[in-house]
Chain A
Amino acid sequence: MAEKKQLKRVDIIFTEECNFKQVLSEALQRSDDEIIQSLLDSGLRGRGGAGFPTGMKWKFTAQEEADERFIICNADEGEPGTFKDREILFKVPYKVFGGMAVGAKVIGAKEGYIYLRGEYKFLLDDLQKQLDDFHKLLDELGLDFRIHIVTGAGAYICGEESALFESMEGKRGEPRNKPPYPTINGYKGKPTVINNVETLVYALTICRLGAERFKSLGTNDSRGSKVFSISGDTPIPGIYELELGMTLENFVEEFGDGDTKSVQVGGAAGFCVPRKDFKDTIIGFEGVPTGGSMMLFNSSRSMYNVIHNYLEFFEEESCGQCTPCRVGCQQLLLGVEAVKRGDKPISYLDELLKLTETMKLTAKCGLGQSVANSFASIVDNFKEEMIY
């Protein structure tokens, strides 16, 4: 059995840096290798969903031969049930800028971009003001680096890193073939670091507190703490920073309403964990990972409606380029409807499960690959609700 942690609230992300200038200045004075080493030592993994070790990402990008490199903050935050990046950008944007500046120094980027979700345009004026101040600070500290804010047009798929580059290049937001990965071929075909908003703040924090402090939190596979967006049937919805590695049982004790039937961990692209598995399920990369979204459902909820809702979302948000995802999502959506209506036998659900297996194996990007997660976990665990 993997290492478990007790639920613990942490306060790292949102604490104000009283002397930000000093924090940043000290971080920028450290050597590139030192910074990369402490990121590697800290065990920080990306907070955007895929969980790639951040230190490696920076290291690979720094190693590439290129005349130009970029660092991009992924603030597209499109996963249903996630709203923590918005809060971070609202409360402590300068920490995000700081993380980008440190990353830019390490990889040698002169330009950085924040790809801001279209729906978050209301943050734009304030962000720009703070950014202007930040640029003055960079001038004082002598770092040749500028951050630009670009806004998305509201497609979920543009949060996928390579689709995001396409979108920034003025093209249709369609994921690219990988390899080559962004560290080699990112924005404008140049080596690019792309990190989630939260990842960048932790990166800066690790520079300040050191790898050891960060590493002391969490488990072997899931170091540190993470910001959760908690919603659904909970008396206390909101944004919480928690140490990684707690069990779902522990989590539900704290956030449930006493009648929690299941928790959707990681949004529509994540897994649905039924009550019987709460005890043995760890929230983290060794168990069920999450980009932050935690949705609690109590026994009044129809899991058919839940999966139907997710499938509608995927069917619409698939970029539509690849066959398994474009047609698969339509088939799943209409398929569960047909079973519900009785137009297709119960056994058709097994055909659909096989289909999600194919989607997972063959879809071009994470969107199509992850539809199987929620579909299989809901259909397997709540089959009767799919039928009656």
Chain B
Amino acid sequence: MINLNIDGIDVSVEEGKTVLDAAKKINVKIPTLCFHEDLCIAGNCRVCVVEQEGAKGLIASCAMPAHEGMKINTNTLKVRRSRKHIIELLLSEHNADCTKCYKNGSCELQELANEYRTGNQVFLDLVQEKNYTIDQSSPSIMKDDSKCIRCQRCVRTCEQLQAVSALAVANKGGEMKISSFFDKPLHEVVCTNCGQCINRCPTGALIEVNNIEDVWDAIYDENKHVVIQTAPAVRIGLGEELGFNPGARVTGKMVAALKRLGFNSVLDTQFTADLTIMEEGTELLTRLKKALVDGDKSVHLPMTTSCSPGWVKFIEHTFPEFLDNVSTCKSPQQMFGALAKTYYAQKRNLDPKDIVSVSVMPCTAKKFEADRPEMTDSGYKDVDYAITTRELAIMIKQAGLDFMELEDNEFDSLMGDSTGAATIFGATGGVMEAALRTAYELVTGREVPFENLNIQPVRGFAGVREASIKIEDPVDDWKFLDGVELRCAVAHGLRNAKELMTSVKNGKSNYHFIEIMACPGGCLGGGGQPIPTNQEIRDKRAAAIYEEDMSLPIRKSHENPEIIHIYNDFLGEPLGHKSHELLHTKYVKRERY
């Protein structure tokens, strides 16, 4: 332990901790901007400076390791004056039209400016000197340089967590800015639309392209029948934006709110998550059969999941030689969209052209996915608008609902039923777990050999996790799998994904099935989820997801009665003709810059 003194208070911290950590321990709040718990230390905003006895200048507390015997003062004249100067400098190059800004009220710069009451402007306004640009090319992400404080949190996110490096620092001096490859529009570069940079941007410089008005317009249009589907991770995140602590399960209130907003039908992406398990599970078993029984060399294994559109775009850019390994299943969002305008329309006697299909997702890449040209198998745009958890929270506030007080309500039927297996799609490892629960049982006739169906080895937050299940004594149809050890791997966050795929590419691993989620923690940590995010919050969201799973009466996808029904009534069988037409897709190779 290291002992130091901060503002006259003795404090001990473990070796390797910073002065900022130590201050936190004694409840001294030092302001920060470039610091983010998930990221490596940059030490560039300098707003966290404090005074160290004996040091020449002030020190950046976020970047300074705690030393034995240090004496720190966090509130001196020098510190105060410097911090105020730094905030004023940031504001002098900032287009601070807060009332028009999407981040108004949830912006770290605004909060600091407010705290320091930077009323009268001391310095010259530099905004006119700059040629700030707004990049609106992407369907998911908007980048407004006039709101950027150059903290590089986005750059570190994209490089360190995602290994994408779509964003980088360009130029020096007053021209320094956050840019993409040759300043190309974000839509034309390797950006995966994962939105992780948005989650960590302290200001309004990176935000999601919002579709709030589009959705309101659809709701108010009397000729339209508006259906909304809700992704698993939304129900354990939404509460954070509306007064609950992280980890609150607000499924019933969310459904109630959506009904009050005026959606004609409130349905569940979890229904198509269950459907994904049926399709993807069958696809995996089919690939295994071809490879193991038929000796078909053209079969691509390992098969990877395809439900994370950030991951899909990543592999299209980074490992195009593995596109045939990606499951052809559409994501649950897109399966839902295709069914909404076919199956649902038929059953409800609606003309699909009058249906507006909206999704609420923990994800910004879902906006891009909804816009993919191939996602129109129903003859219409399968998903018209994908909004984030954050956008939904804004709509709920706009509608004047007291979310905390809402009575729980239930999903409408027809594509509203789901299982615990679908809920866990929201956590890294969840798709794998859901798939194993179903596949193992289909093949052996027995439940997976894990207590309470909880497949612990694929849970948790280790970057890459492995599991294997030995198949013994299968039922007749699957005799060829007897004794086969099904080898699986799970990765979350694209840096881990890249590592895993690199080991596959180098022949260093021989998995059958790989689950990959673009976002750290899986969808619960998605780019459309409430801000802030950090490991503690992600832990709580994960706990909520697994609680939700345990609370549901059915926890295996193949037992979902609506799923059984849709195969009998409409789809025929997994991977059948109709499925192929509506529920499966293909991928394209993309450039690498």
- On A, residues with C-beta under 8 Å from B are 155, 157, 172, 174, 177, 179, 314-324, 326-331, 334-335, 338, 344, 351, 354-355, 358, 360-364, 369
Contact = CB atoms under 8 A, between A and B. Distances in A.
B78 interface: yes
Given A177-B60, A315-B173, 20 more contacts: A155-B172, A172-B168, A177-B43, A314-B173, A315-B174, A317-B173, A318-B172, A320-B175, A323-B47, A323-B90, A324-B46, A327-B92, A327-B93, A331-B92, A361-B82, A362-B60, A362-B82, A363-B57, A364-B46, A369-B57
* Chain B at the A interface: SS class: loop
A155 B173 CA distance: 11
Contact of A328 (B63, B89, B129, B175): B89
A361 B149 CA distance: 20
B122 A351 contact: yes
A286 B190 CA distance: 54
Best-surrounded residue of A324, A338, A369 (most CB of chain B within 10 A):
A324
26 contacts: A314-B173, A317-B172, A317-B173, A320-B172, A323-B47, A323-B86, A323-B90, A323-B149, A324-B86, A326-B150, A326-B174, A327-B92, A330-B173, A330-B174, A331-B126, A334-B129, A338-B124, A351-B122, A354-B85, A358-B85, A361-B49, A361-B58, A362-B58, A362-B82, A364-B43, A369-B57
B488 to A, nearest CB: 35
B176 interface: yes
Nearest to B58: A361
A319 B85 contact: no
B169 A358 contact: no
Nearest to A363: B46
B416 interface: no
Most interface-central of B63, B85, B92, B149 (chain A CB within 10 A): B85
The 3 lowest CB-CB distance pairs between A and B, nearest first, are A320-B176, A327-B89, A177-B63
A361 B169 CA distance: 25
A222 B107 CA distance: 51
Interface in B52-100: 57-58, 60, 63-65, 78, 81-82, 85-86, 89-90, 92-93
A320 to B, nearest CB: 3
Contacts of B89: 323-324, 327-328, 331
B480 interface: no
Contacts of B149: 323
B131 interface: no
A330 B174 CA distance: 6
B39 interface: no
Contacts of A360: 57
Interface string B158-194: 0000000000110111111000000000000000000
Given A315-B174, A317-B173, A361-B58, A334 B124 contact: yes
Nearest to B176: A320
Given A328-B89, A362-B86, A364-B44, A320 B124 contact: no
A322 B44 CA distance: 4
B49 A316 contact: no
B464 interface: no
A369 B57 CA distance: 9
A239 to B, nearest CB: 29
Contact of B173 (A172, A318, A324): A318
B54 to A, nearest CB: 14
A317 B175 CA distance: 10
B124 A329 contact: no
A363 B47 CA distance: 10
A239 B64 CA distance: 41
A328 B171 CA distance: 17
B93 A320 contact: no
Given A323-B89, A324-B85, A331-B89, A362 B49 contact: yes
A316 B124 contact: no
A331 B410 CA distance: 58
Contacts of B65: 179
Contacts of B175: 320
Contacts of A358: 81-82, 85-86
B45 interface: yes
